Amino acid sequence: MDGPAASGKSSVARLVAARLGRIYVNTGNMYRAMTWAVLERGVDPHDADAVRSAAADIRIECPVLDGQTQVSVNGRPLTTTDLNSDAVNAAVSLVARVPEVRERLVSDQRSLTALGPLVMEGRDIGSVVFPGSRLKFYIDASEEVRAARRHAQGHTDRVAERDRMDSTRKSSPLVIPEGAQYIDNSHLTLEQAVESVLGMIADGR
């Protein structure tokens, strides 16, 4: 399940996973964990070479708790506050665009299939991580709606800038994956969006 920032894909994916009895994986939290670790080391996220060097010995682990993966950095579990700070929000697209970071985390994400059936969401799941998946969804919403959602969550990052960076990066850009079912989540309730996904799955689409 893919989509831009604040499109609602995380909430939809989490509930779909719960309804289907599958493990929920938020891959964005893996990039956020890496970003948090890079910032903790005092690395400038704009310096791709410095990020690449720092990331080489940062270990991201994803233990499962209550049906969903958590993230830890070198054995330290990270909290929601750690992962969603304004500093991480502002830097995560910079860190995520470093090819070596993406290559390593994509490999980590593919290895999570050993845990069992997954509902995985992010920005390149259907296009890069599992392009051969039969069930791919792209959850979208208008820029205005997404910006309002971020503001309501108390965050100050600008979704338009994150969209631009995620869509234009050379490594695994944000795209609508081939064969993905497109859902405009601008004016759907969470339950409506979840039912839409579950209905498409039941129909074998």
Cα separations in angstroms, 78 against 34, 56, 83, 163: 11, 19, 7, 25
Q: What is the pLDDT of residues 26-35, one digit of tens each?
A: 999 999 999 9
- Contact indicator for 37, 57 with CB cutoff of 8 Å: no
**What is the dihedral sign for C-alpha 109, 115, 121, 125?**
positive
Find how far residue 190's CA is from the centre of its chain.
Answer: 18
Cα separations in angstroms, 33 against 105, 179, 194: 11, 30, 27
Q: Measured in Å, how far apart are the chain's first and last C-alpha atoms?
A: 14
CATH class of 9-202: alpha beta
Max CA distance (Å), the chain: 50
Helix (H) or strand (E) holding 132: none
Q: Which residues is 72 bridged to in the sheet?
A: 61, 77
Distance from C-alpha of 102 to C-alpha of 187, rounded to nearest angstrom: 32
* 162 band by pLDDT with thresholds 50, 70 and 90: confident
pTM equals: 0.91
Highest mean pLDDT among 14-18, 153-157, 164-168, 174-178: 14-18
Q: What is the mean pLDDT of residues 102-130?
A: 97
Task: Give which of 133, 33, 136 is closest to 85, Cα–Cα.
Answer: 33
Both tokens of residue 188?
Answer: 């759907």
Distance from C-alpha of 15 to C-alpha of 110, rounded to nearest angstrom: 21
Both tokens of residue 3?
Answer: 């989509």
Q: What is the pLDDT of residues 46-85, one digit of tens each?
A: 999 999 999 999 999 999 999 999 999 999 999 999 999 9
The residue length of the chain stands at: 205
Q: What is the pLDDT of residues 147-159, one digit of tens each?
A: 898 888 877 777 8
Both tokens of residue 150?
Answer: 């971020």
